[in-house]
């Protein structure tokens, strides 16, 4: 029985890693699309969104089967629960990538927004979320809790950029009132990147729960600033 459940858990790990790579690529392409106004790249992200959703459902079904057949306990149960929650968070990140791609597909970005993107630190925000997502994957696979501290640090940066965005948008609209609708849509992109950071910190917490059996949602490790 032990040998069988170990085999099933390794299959779950492999599937989650495949989901992780898929979502990372979606976020990477959506970020590049919004930074370069690449509507063709945005269209690819939108077309692959169904694959993300289907993969999430498959992993959920496989998790249910493992629980029903093997009734895991201890570290095995923590692993299965972590995979379940990480899978859910990855699917939400995939949704955010799709929303960002939809923004690019909808808008013809004015030339003036090169300066706006620079002021908003959009590149920094995209790169930070990608770094966080990759580092969370490493922490999970290598079972290294210490890597999660770097994720929480980057989340502070993402939060800081998000907090500064409102006044930057307001100043831009004051100078370019014709961009008001575009700026409102762009504000949603910034918020989705910020929410992506939140979901990645949720993933990091699940890694710690799995490795150290610690629940951090009410702890101090994710303190801001």
Homologous superfamily, domain 2-212: Phosphate transport system protein phou homolog 2; domain 2 (1.20.58.220)
Structural domain spans, the chain? 2-212
Question: Distance (Å, rounded) from C-alpha 78 to C-alpha 74?
Answer: 6
Q: Residues in the chain, how many?
A: 225
pTM over 0.75: yes
Question: Distance (Å, rounded) from C-alpha 104 to C-alpha 186?
Answer: 9
Q: Copy the structure tokens of residue 66.
A: 């493992």
DSSP 220: S
In tens digits, the chain (225 residues) has pLDDT values of 556 789 999 999 999 999 999 999 999 999 999 999 899 999 999 999 999 999 999 999 999 999 999 999 988 999 999 999 999 999 999 999 999 999 998 876 655 567 899 999 999 999 999 999 999 999 999 999 999 999 999 999 999 999 999 999 999 999 999 889 989 999 999 999 999 999 999 999 999 999 887 555 545 445 444
């Amino acid at each position: 029985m032990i040998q069988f459940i170990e085999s099933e858990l390794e299959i779950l790990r492999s599937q989650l890693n495949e989901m992780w790579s898929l979502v990372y690529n979606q976020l990477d392409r959506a970020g590049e699309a919004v930074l370069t106004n690449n509507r063709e790249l945005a269209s690819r992200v939108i077309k692959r969104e169904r694959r993300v959703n289907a993969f999430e459902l498959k992993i959920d079904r496989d998790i249910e089967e493992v629980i029903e057949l093997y009734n895991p306990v201890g570290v095995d149960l923590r692993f299965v629960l972590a995979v379940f929650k990480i899978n859910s968070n990855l699917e939400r990140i995939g949704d955010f990538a799709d929303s960002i791609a939809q923004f690019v597909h909808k808008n013809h970005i004015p030339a003036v927004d090169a300066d706006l993107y620079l002021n908003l630190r959009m590149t920094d925000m995209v790169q930070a979320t990608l770094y966080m997502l990759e580092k969370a994957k490493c922490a999970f696979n290598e079972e290294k809790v210490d890597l999660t501290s770097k994720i929480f640090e980057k989340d502070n940066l993402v939060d800081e950029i998000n907090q500064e965005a409102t006044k930057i948008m307001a100043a831009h609209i004051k100078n370019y009132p014709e961009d008001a609708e575009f700026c409102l849509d762009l504000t949603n992109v910034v918020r989705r990147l910020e929410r992506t950071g939140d979901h990645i910190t949720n993933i990091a917490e699940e890694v710690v729960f799995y490795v150290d059996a610690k629940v951090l949602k009410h702890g101090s490790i994710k303190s801001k600033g």
